[in-house]
Amino acid sequence: MYVVPPPQRSDSGSNGDLRVYQTWKGSNIFFLQGRFVFGPDVRSLALTICLIAVPVTIFCIFVARKLMDDFSDSWGVSIVVVAVVFTIYDLILLLLTSGRDPGIIPRNAHPPEPEGLDGNMDAGAGQTPQLRLPRIKEVELNGITFKVKYCDTCMLYRPPRCSHCSICNNCVERFDHHCPWVGQCIGLRNYRFFFMFVFSTTLLCIFVFAFCWVYIRKIMESEHTTIWKAMLKTPASIVLIIYTFISMWFVGGLTAFHLYLISTNQTTYENFRYRYDRRSNPHNKGVINNFKETFCSSIPASKNDFRAMIQREPPLPPRSVAGGFMSPNMGKANDDIEMGRKAVWADMGPAMSEHGDGKNGNNERLHVKDGELGELSPDIRTTVDEQSDRPGMHPRRSSWGRKSGSWDMSPEVMALAARVGEQNQNGGGSSSGSGLVTENRPT
């Protein structure tokens, strides 16, 4: 049996000129042709930069510049230089945290091969048993058994300490959390820079906070006034003191929390999910080794080359059935011919739906084409037309077991045919027979 093969893909829509970042299935946003990868909430990065740069700018203009006159030699200039350099360093750490691959695991194009059959699936005759992937697998790493879960989105089993970020829509190695302030996931490849960014921001807040008080102290000494009057003379210092005091509680508390996580070799996700403080942590190597692993170990290379060219996809392989190819239309109405049904019966749908099944079965052959009656004699053809017009006639059952128009002649037709034969033998001719049949038409 020949079945039409599926159509081949056209080369007009080829992906040969596209790069990986242009067809990336995650929610990431790329800049500079895939050189920088950010999360979908990258706009929050601009807010974070403003929250750092604007207060430092106010400090340099209204506080540090005034302190240059109060300190001799280069001490006054060093205050401005330290503030500017420390801010630039802090912003660089922010970009290193936000603009790099945090440890994304590439997706699989196809799910992994199932390891066994599903025992609950009964395979009947002619049916293939259903193969299912286990949701959880146990893997052994360094003598410790871990349970890894299957990710339906990435079609892979996540390695230990890996989790799927619902915001970036990627599986990230050593997933810590998704930080909205940097607009990126925090994972294996950027956690070090994230902690350094938070810690340096805390130090910057302390630096600005301290020198604002130094400037107020200088005003009190130079004008011999109270602290309240000195504060009124520099409202910028008051605003910066309040701002940095609030910020220190936020970034300072975050720094202390991550120092605890580093010392116990935990991630934020593990701390809130598994609560290792109530049971043994299989990743804990001791305080010193934990800090060495975070700050002294080499950062692994990215598993994704976002600027690589996409290989042209091969055409989809046809699905075979019984040693052949499956047609895209297999199982549809045009297979009725091979199933023993003739295409002419497809025109019966409207007549059957209007009159119901079995009530007006002779209408099944009301739409017979003239060519199908050409081989009959005019007498039988006229009689068949009469029979189709009679309301009391019903179709016969064919050998196929279903109702259909039948060319078996009724007794009336047989009687008419006998009379026509007698007239022909008597020399009456076919025309008189035809006229006799016409005269017996019902009015």
Contact 217, 164 (CB under 8 A): no
- Position 424 scores a pLDDT of 63
* Cα 151 to Cα 170: distance, rounded to the nearest angstrom: 10
Identify whether 142 is part of a domain: no
- Position 411 scores a pLDDT of 65
Domain that holds residue 247: 20-106+186-296
3-state class (DSSP) for residue 102? coil
- Position 238 scores a pLDDT of 95
Encoded tokens for 103: 């440890």
**Regions of the chain where pLDDT drops below 50:** 1-14, 117-119, 121, 123-125, 319-384, 387-388, 390-406, 428-443
* Cα 118 to Cα 114: distance, rounded to the nearest angstrom: 10
- Position 266 scores a pLDDT of 92
Identify whether 38 is part of a domain: yes
3-state class (DSSP) for residue 170? strand
Identify whether 214 is part of a domain: yes
Identify the CA nearest to 11 among candidates 313, 310, 309.
313
Beta strands (DSSP E) in 195-334 are 320-321, 324-325
Identify the CA nearest to 186 among candidates 96, 292, 253, 248.
96
φ and ψ at residue 102, rounded to 5 degrees: -75, -5
Q: Annotated catalytic sites, by residue? A: 179
- Per the structure, the count of domains in the chain is 1
Beta strands (DSSP E) in 27-135 are 29-31, 36-38
Identify whether 255 is part of a domain: yes
Encoded tokens for 89: 């360093």
Identify whether 329 is part of a domain: no
* Cα 110 to Cα 348: distance, rounded to the nearest angstrom: 45
Identify whether 130 is part of a domain: no
Identify whether 77 is part of a domain: yes
- Position 260 scores a pLDDT of 95
Which pTM value belongs to this model? 0.64
* pLDDT per position as a tens digit, 307-336: 888 876 555 555 444 433 333 333 443 333
Identify whether 272 is part of a domain: yes
